[in-house]
Amino acid sequence: MKIKFLGTAAAEGYPAMFCNCENCQNALKKGGKNIRSRSQAIIDDTLLIDFPCDTYYHAHLNGINLHDIRNCLVTHVHRDHLYPVDLLYFKPGFSHPAEDFMFTMYGSCDVEATLSAVLPEAVKKHFTLVTVEAFKPFSVGEYAVTPLKAYHGTENPLIYAISKGSQSILYAHDTDIFREETWEYMKQNNMSFNLVTMDCTEGAEEDLSYHGHMCLGRNIACRDRLLKEGLADENTVFVLNHFSHNGKHSNYDEFAPLAKKEGFETSFDGMEIII
């Protein structure tokens, strides 16, 4: 399996629009991996994860023909992960997909409520939503997908375990350290991950005063429990992702060495990992 990180920032992007903070100034000055668009990933060049407002930009930057993409998992309904306005371009006259083209989105009942409020009937010729629930596995082509409960600020946020054959990825954005019911489900079902990508919105902080995101200190605690519970091992690749300009030492050039010392890879826009 291959995962490609198309975007690796939190909601504001990095640097953030209209921001003059030190992190944003440094990112603009240094460029390169310090410049981040809104979080999105793709598995094996075929299975999208999330649909932010930067999807169009990601597709062109990475040579992705969106007409070749048929499936998308959605974690939650915050606009940096689900931007429904762009789905309006399935309306006749705006685009001309093949007659048999169908773009299928998978998400919680929150996603269903959000899309039903904005999408007209006319888009349904080429777009459909499959409503999924936490702890109820389903298949997307050759992938076995298990939605798990996230710890984040919407009604029904999800993270996803995605497997193909003997390989498995845990995509854990946006979330705090997992809820106990998620830990129990993973243990009871003998899950084991070759790659875990975790939220690191607040950068190098040791801990946070709120719940819903993680920082390096919480990443360490989450990684250690995954190892303790047998859900990961010494060969598991741990990646940190979803960075905010408000995070401590969150520029790539500053953060990557700190994460490396703790055994983590630091994502950047365009990063690919094959497991």
**Tokens 């997307």, residue?**
140
Backbone φ, ψ for residue 67 (5° rounding):
-65, -20
Is the pLDDT assigned to residue 30 strictly greater than 90?
yes
Residues above pLDDT 90, as percent of the chain: 98
Domains identified in the chain, total number: 1
State the pLDDT confidence band at 153, using cuts at 50, 70 and 90: confident
Is the pLDDT assigned to residue 33 strictly greater than 90?
yes
HSE-up of residue 192 (Cα within 13 Å, Cβ side): 8
pLDDT of residue 252: 98
State the pLDDT confidence band at 165, using cuts at 50, 70 and 90: very high
What is the four-CA torsion angle of 190, 215, 30, 33, rounded to 10 degrees? 10
Domain of 148, in residue numbers: 2-274
HSE-up of residue 156 (Cα within 13 Å, Cβ side): 15
Q: pLDDT digit string (tens) for 186-203?
A: 999 999 999 999 999 999
Q: Which of 86-95, 217-226, 260-269 has the lowest mean pLDDT?
A: 86-95
- Which of 92-96, 111-115, 151-155 is most confident? 111-115
For the chain, list the strands marked E by DSSP: 2-7, 40-43, 47-49, 71-73, 103-107, 127-131, 138-140, 143-149, 158-164, 167-172, 195-199, 237-241, 265-266, 271-274
pLDDT of residue 105: 98
pLDDT of residue 29: 97
> What CATH number should be reported for the domain holding residue 194?
3.60.15.10
Q: Is 180 exposed, middle or buried (0-12, 13-18, 19+ CB in 10 A)?
A: exposed
Q: pLDDT digit string (tens) for 214-244?
A: 999 999 999 999 999 999 999 999 999 999 9
pLDDT of residue 245: 98
pLDDT of residue 227: 98
C-alpha to C-alpha distance for 48 and 46, rounded to whole angstroms: 6
